[in-house]
Amino acid sequence: MLDVMLPGVDGYSLQVKISQDPATKDLPIVVLTALEPSRTLFQKFPQVVGFMTKPFKPEDLLKTVQSAVERRAAS
């Protein structure tokens, strides 16, 4: 999970670093954001497998993560 608004670094910059590092470039990411327009920025990254808009219910987070895991296992 990657929060778009992190203290000291923005989530987009961190996602760029994650996608460029061979050790983490295939790591599936669920983006957490309070800003709906953030989706557009992150959609170009193939490892982004889901989005959650804050605030969210814990059960919705669980569904998003389960769906991402199932899609990953199927590919």
Q: Mean pLDDT per 10-residue run, the chain (75 residues)?
A: 87 91 92 79 84 91 89 80
pTM here is 0.80
Report CA-CA distances (Å) from 32 to 16, 28, 53.
16, 13, 6
> In the chain, what are the domains?
2-74 (3.40.50.2300)
Q: Any idea of the CA torsion for 33, 35, 40, 46, to the nearest 10 degrees?
A: 0
Quote the pLDDT of residue 58.
Answer: 93
H/E segment holding residue 60 = helix 58-74
Q: How far apart are CA 9 and CA 22, in angstroms?
A: 21
